[in-house]
Amino acid sequence: MQTFTSLRKHRNYRLYFLGQSISQIGTWLQTAAQSWLVLELTGSPAAVGVLSFCFYAPYAVIGLLGGALADRVPRHRLMMITQSAMAVCALALALVVVLHVDKVWVIDLIAVVRGVVLVFNNPSQQALMVQLVGRSELPNAIALNSSLMNATRIIGPAIAGALMAGAGVAACFALNAVSYVAVIAALGAMREADFHAPAGLRSRTTIGRSIREGLHYARRTKTIWIALTMLAVVSLLGINFNVLLPVLARETMHAGPQVFGLIASCFGVGAFAGALVSASRRRASPTLLLAAVAGFGVSQLALATQRGLLGVCLALVATGVCYTIYTSSTNAMVQLATPAFLQGRVAGLYSYAFISTGPLGALLAGWLAERSTDLAFAVGGGAAVVMALFGFALRPWPMPTGTVRARRRARVRTAAASGAAGAVRADTAPAAEDAATPPRG
């Protein structure tokens, strides 16, 4: 019963969950097909790394703008725009294949456009969770969202493998374009009156000052800066599966797209199981986070030693379990440590730490995979283990108290440091909703 609390109690979250359940399948279809397409056109693992670099590079350059915007406009409306733009990009990829445009730079250019859209989509998507369910059920909603993403990670690559072998990669891109209709319709059907936090807070401060407020708060809050530092390092060196799994299947295991779909789905099976474990817990825990990141590292080290299909699949299941518990725990802890008027900006910092490391990480993973996928997985696993030791050495991590008074003090400190006293006054009204009290509905 605890695992599915957010779905049972909140209509807006049910709509979001339903729309995403369809859209995410299409996303994984495209992710698998795009990497495989570039590998077929070039035969180079480094080219797959360049593709990921193009996708994540905009986040490294302008990533903090999305978080600032998410605190100024209704987040679900901003997402309707970004999801529509993603659908156009997917359709463009389908046309590239159908028209036999065998230029990798065109695929890379579309990836850059998708990356720009992602800058404005992800902070709104992360910050929207607290509006849909309230603070007391935020860890549950984040974990359920992770379970959804990883359940579709199981289905998507498997379908992609079959489609690529039969209908071709263009079918994967076209189906993804159609899948965005579901999430856009779900966002449009939400009732703003049921939101548990402001849908967008108007501010008189500039975008630059808004970004500095978020950075200042993150730097002053121990739990946030430790969690984000760990995430940035692990994401840079250890979360490059879009680059490594197709190379592992094609170059190391000398297999075709069906095996690629299978091993990618095995990672998804583990990630889905890990998300259900996270959803069944009532609160985010630093101990669980540290255990998960350590397990993530050890599992990748084990994966580096495997050659057979069974060993690879088992290691990827274990990696997936730890991956989702770690990332969902990090996300929940960071958001729970943040007051409502900074929610979008700090969620933007979470996305920035997670995604902006992608360009360099993708190039590094491609360069390592040119030499050996074993080396790439060993580097990623070792980095995760080191970060687990780093987080353990800096204990205790102070957790938010959940009281209105503590959050008001945090607002006053942040506003005084940044000169944005008006933000405190503007955010006083929803303070009771901001507290860790049972949400409406």
pLDDT of residue 301: 95
CB 253 within 8 A of CB 428: no
Average pLDDT over residues 236-242: 86
Mean pLDDT across the stretch 24-37? 86
Q: Are 141 and 278 in contact (CB under 8 A)?
A: no
pLDDT digits (tens, 9 = 90+) for 159-208: 887 888 878 888 999 999 999 999 999 999 998 888 886 544 555 567 78
- How far is 83 from 70, CA to CA, in rounded Å? 15
Report the distance separating Cα 234 and Cα 387, nearest Å: 7
Give the number of other Cβ atoms within 10 Å of residue 171's Cβ.
Answer: 20
The residue among 262, 321, 318, 272 whose CA lies nearest residue 150 is: 272
Look-up of token digits 């699949």: 313
Q: What is the DSSP string of 158-212?
A: HHHHHHHHHT-HHHHHHHHHHHHHHHHHHHHT--GGG-SS-S----SS-HHHHHH
pLDDT tens-digit map of 198-234: 544 555 567 788 888 888 998 889 999 999 999 999 9
Q: Which letter does DSSP use for residue 403 in this model?
A: -
At 159, list the tokens. 């379908």
Residue 100 has pLDDT above 50, yes or no: yes
Q: What does the alpha-carbon distance between residue 307 and residue 328 come to, in Å, rounded to a whole number?
A: 30
**pLDDT, tens digit, 9 for 90 and up, residues 101-142:** 878 899 999 999 999 998 899 888 888 888 888 877 888 888
Residues whose CB is less than 8 angstroms from the CB of residue 347 and which lie 6 or more positions away in sequence, other chains included? 67, 70, 122, 123, 126, 127, 334, 335, 338
pLDDT given at position 237:
92
Q: Considering the domain 5-434 in this protein, what is its CATH number?
A: 1.20.1250.20
Among 299-303, 362-366, 422-426, the range with the most confident prediction by mean pLDDT is: 299-303
Reported as a single tens digit per residue, the pLDDT across 292-333 is: 999 999 999 999 988 889 999 999 999 999 998 999 889 888
How do residues 62-76 score in pLDDT, each as one tens digit?
878 888 887 788 888
Share of the chain above pLDDT 90, in %: 29
Q: Is the pLDDT of residue 403 over 60?
A: no
- At 378 the pLDDT is 93
| pLDDT at residue 268 in the model | 80
Q: What is the average pLDDT across 337-344?
A: 79
Per-residue burial over 404-428, b if 16 or more Cβ lie within 10 Å, else e, is beebbebbeebbeebebeebbebbe
Report yes or no: 317 and 270 within 8 Å, Cβ to Cβ. Answer: yes
The answer to whether residues 112 and 89 touch, using CB atoms and an 8 Å cutoff, is no
What pTM value is reported for the model? 0.68
Chain mean pLDDT for the chain: 81
**What's residue 63's pLDDT?**
79
* Cα separation, 417 vs 221, whole angstroms: 14
Q: What would the mean pLDDT of 47-51 be, rounded to a whole number?
A: 83
Q: What is the mean pLDDT of residues 407-433?
A: 39
User: What is the DSSP code string of 253-314?
Assistant: S---HHHHHHHHHHHHHHHHHHHHHHHTSSS--HHHHHHHHHHHHHHHHHHTT--SHHHHHH
Does residue 440 surpass a pLDDT of 70? Answer: no
The identity of residue 389, as a single letter, is: L
Which letter does DSSP use for residue 440 in this model? Answer: P
pLDDT at 409 over 70: no
pLDDT reported for residue 1? 57
C-alpha to C-alpha distance for 10 and 163, rounded to whole angstroms: 36
